[in-house]
Amino acid sequence: MGGVSVLAEAACLLPRESFVYYGDSLHNPYGTKEVAEIKRLSMGAVEFLIQKGIKALVVACNTATSVAISDLRKEWTIPVIGMEPALKPAVEMDNQGTIVVMATPITLREKKFNNLLNQYLSRRDIIPLSCPGLADLIERGVYTGRTIEDYLARVFSGINREEIATIVLGCTHYVFIKHEIEKLIPGVKIIDGNRGTVKHLARILGQRGLLSDRDPKERTISCFTSGRPEIFQPLCEQLFSFCQEKQKQA
């Protein structure tokens, strides 16, 4: 379900484009799986989407990007866009204090993230914060209320909250709990990589002459899942509407 936050951003910024979304709910969460398993599942998801005739792919998952993006780009010639924690904009912000990067355990372990982290450690105090199980909670529709509040209080218990200036959301699921984070740490700046990813997608489509010129009223958004559609579809629509409403307020 995390990628729905990216889908909502893309639907707003690219109103002439049609989208096919695939949520691998049956095998969620990816963030605690072995690398080989994540690669296998990612390949299978992309094969499904390729059969739908897509012209470009967004890997709307930080964990799958960290583990599988290189293999996906070798396998297919269409543009393949991945996610990356928005660490660079966080470092370049005009504020002082600690930057916390919330992400799944495997994202924080992978070479891709650590190469990114090492670029900026000399400039700012950065704390990678592993959040095991959080994506799974959100996947089940738990993104507000006491359960999330207690989880966040526990995971942040070892960090001086008063010193935190910025929180980087390194998992697409975490976009849905921004408000709960703000309640725990009032005044903190929270950023994610969704808008930057979609802007990059738009640039690549433009460079390759792939941008659609269809009437926005004619575009379609189709959603598929490996899990149970009767559970997935209502939650997908709920989270999509939630994201679009938040974007209007921003």
Q: Which residues are catalytic?
A: 61, 171
Tell me the C-alpha distance between 97 and 75, whole Å: 42
CB 127 within 8 Å of CB 99:
yes
Task: Determine if the peptide bond prior to 128 is cis (ω within 30°).
Answer: no
Tell me the HSE value of 55 on the side-chain side, using a 13 A CA sphere.
13
Residue type at 237 in one-letter notation: E
CB 30 within 8 Å of CB 63:
yes
Backbone angles phi, psi at 52, to 5 degrees: -85, 0
Q: Decide: helix, strand or coil at residue 209.
A: coil
The annotated binding site for substrate is made up of 30-31, 62-63, 172-173
CB 70 within 8 Å of CB 82:
no
20-31 in b/e burial notation, b at 16+ Cβ within 10 A? bbbbbbeebbbb
> Which tokens belong to 78?
């269409």
- How far does CA 153 lie from the centroid of its chain? 22
Tell me the C-alpha distance between 41 and 64, whole Å: 9
